[in-house]
Amino acid sequence: MVLSILHRVTGAFLCLGLVLVAWGLIALAAGEAAWSTFAGFCGSWIGVILLACWTFSLFLHLCNGIRHLFWDAGAGFEKSGYFTSAWVVVIAGVALTVIVWLWAAMVGGAA
Amino acid sequence: MSAQPRQAPHDMRTPLKRVRGLGSAKSGLGHWWWERVTALALVPLCLWFVWLVLRLPHLDFASAHLVVATPVNTLLLILFTTIGFWHGQLGLQAIIEDYVHTRWIELVLLVAIKFLAVIGALACALAALDIWLAVY
């Protein structure tokens, strides 16, 4: 139930994320000054918070999207399977987000 | 909600035929289908994109530019952004159709997100091509 509305909320939020992707690509094409403005935004505290939200939104939407695709194929409609897969989605979404940010922190210069 | 679809006295259509296309979108098996197809394509593309972005933060401008400019990355970036904007537009359309109940506002928003999605996808593709052509 909660995941259903979260799927929409994260989906809409990810559309804004695509705007950031567009900004990054255009900045990289435009040159060093534009890129450093973009990198500066991503490295600012508001940028990091937004990026963390986008990472979690992406993985939650991705995992829940795969769950939806299984439903469309006609699998996983039983009540027990419904709740199990919901928890799998939440745990996988959190785990992937943590892994990505730990990785970024280890490689260095993430923020 | 309350009103039953009125059946004409000589309506030969089956009940299923009459209710088809009467959801909030009125029509749109194509919408449903393409939402799934783009979703499927985005599963590997998203994972690849996260992998690409994770390599960028510790790189300076020139190195980041070189990483993004490889032919494979250019191709995958264009695919990711084009299909991403397409899928995003389809998703926003479903949300707008469900929650915006004033018909003219709904129409304006539906057209606006289509325009913005095309502009976004084209801008991303052009930028990716520009980055690629600057190196190769």
CB contact under 8 Å between A35 and B123, yes or no, is no
Residues of B in contact with A36 (CB under 8 A): 61
Residue B51 tokens, joined: 């992998």
Query: Would you say the ipTM is above 0.95?
Result: no
Q: Which one of 1.20.1300.10, 3.50.50.60, 1.20.1740.10, 3.40.640.10 gives the CATH number of domain B27-135?
A: 1.20.1300.10
B39–A69 C-beta distance less than 8 A: yes
Of B50, B58, B91, the CB nearest to A107: B58
Q: Does A11 touch chain B (CB under 8 A)?
A: yes
Contacts of B77 in chain A (CB under 8 A): 25
Domain residue spans of chain B: 27-135
Does A110 sit within 8 Å of B57, measured CB to CB?
A: yes
**Could you tell me which of B30, B33, B24, B19 has the C-alpha nearest to residue B106?**
B24
Please, which pLDDT band fits residue B9 given cuts at 50, 70 and 90? low
Mean pLDDT computed over B16-25: 70
* Interface residue of A6, A14, A18 to substitute, partner B, most B CBs within 10 Å: A18
Task: Output the pLDDT for position B117.
Answer: 97
Among B57, B95, B124, whose Cβ lies nearest the Cβ of A25?
B124
From B7's Cα to the closest Cα of chain A, the distance in A is 32
Indicate the DSSP class of residue A1: -
Q: Is the pLDDT of residue B10 over 80?
A: no
pLDDT in tens, B28-65: 678 888 999 999 999 999 999 999 999 887 778 999 99
Among the listed ranges A83-87, B15-19, B68-72, which one has the minimum average pLDDT value?
B15-19
Q: Which fold has domain A2-107?
A: 3 helical TM bundles of succinate and fumarate reductases (1.20.1300)
Q: Which residues of A fall within a CB distance of 8 Å from B88?
A: 11, 14-15, 18
pLDDT digits (tens, 9 = 90+) for A60-74: 999 999 999 999 888
Low-confidence ranges of chain A (pLDDT < 50): 110-111
